[in-house]
């Protein structure tokens, strides 16, 4: 496994070592010992989630607040997405900055998103299966977020806005400047 830093403090791209032959391929998608050794973070992941979406579906920008805050390790099992993380930690040098990366079943890259980050993705392929590990359990009462099209964030979602499919819940998320304190 290779770990690359991103411009956002504490956010990493992980690239597994893929072994391929005439039968297909094999790679270790997660190894706690290697993850801790290479990132310096001993994160006890407790929940795995998976979603299926079609082209243009945008899920974000979300986070969990307070005692329910979550770090995530995200990857794509099928298809391709543009994955985005936004640092909302007030004391961070990269406060309110974002990082985006294409994750796909072809590049097998993963993104580690620490606590204190908004997270979201948009599906670029016809279909996508998205998986992520969390270090804390989901808590509906701790949900928070920011509007995906907030001009202050200036995220380029690649697809035209009229091609995005966004949930009613995400459409009404506030701008980041109106969201209040995320608690980080």
Residue 181 has pLDDT above 90, yes or no: no
Predicted structure pTM score: 0.95
Residue 27 has which token pair? 């790679």
Specify whether 98 is catalytic: no
Catalytic residue chosen out of the listed positions 62, 98, 119, 147:
62
Integer-rounded Cα Rg, in Å, for the chain is 16
How far is the C-alpha of 56 from the C-alpha of 99, rounded, in Å? 19
Looking at 119, 132, 147, 182, which residue is catalytic? 132
User: What does the alpha-carbon distance between residue 2 and residue 36 come to, in Å, rounded to a whole number?
Assistant: 12
Choice among 25-29, 55-59, 117-121 with the minimum mean pLDDT: 25-29
Average pLDDT over residues 91-113: 97
132 is catalytic: yes
Q: What is the pLDDT of residue 43?
A: 94
Instruction: Parse the chain into domains and list their residue ranges.
Output: 46-178
For the domain made up of 46-178, the CATH class stated in words is mainly beta
């Amino acid at each position: 496994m290779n770990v690359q830093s991103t411009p956002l403090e504490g956010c990493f791209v992980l690239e597994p070592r893929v072994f391929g032959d005439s039968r297909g391929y094999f790679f270790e998608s997660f190894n706690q010992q290697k993850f801790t050794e290479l990132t310096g973070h001993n994160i006890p992941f407790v929940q795995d989630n998976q979603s299926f979406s079609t082209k243009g579906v945008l899920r974000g920008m979300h986070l969990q607040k307070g005692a329910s805050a979550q770090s995530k390790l995200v990857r794509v099992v099928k298809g391709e997405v543009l994955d985005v993380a936004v640092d909302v930690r007030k004391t961070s040098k990269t406060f309110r900055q974002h990082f985006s990366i294409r994750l796909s079943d072809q590049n097998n890259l993963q993104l580690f998103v620490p606590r204190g980050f908004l997270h979201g993705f948009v599906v670029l392929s016809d279909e996508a299966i998205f998986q992520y590990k969390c270090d804390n359990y989901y808590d509906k009462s701790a949900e928070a977020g920011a509007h995906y099209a907030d001009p202050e964030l200036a995220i380029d979602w690649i697809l035209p806005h009229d091609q995005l499919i966004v949930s009613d819940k995400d459409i009404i998320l506030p701008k980041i400047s109106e969201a209040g304190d995320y608690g980080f």
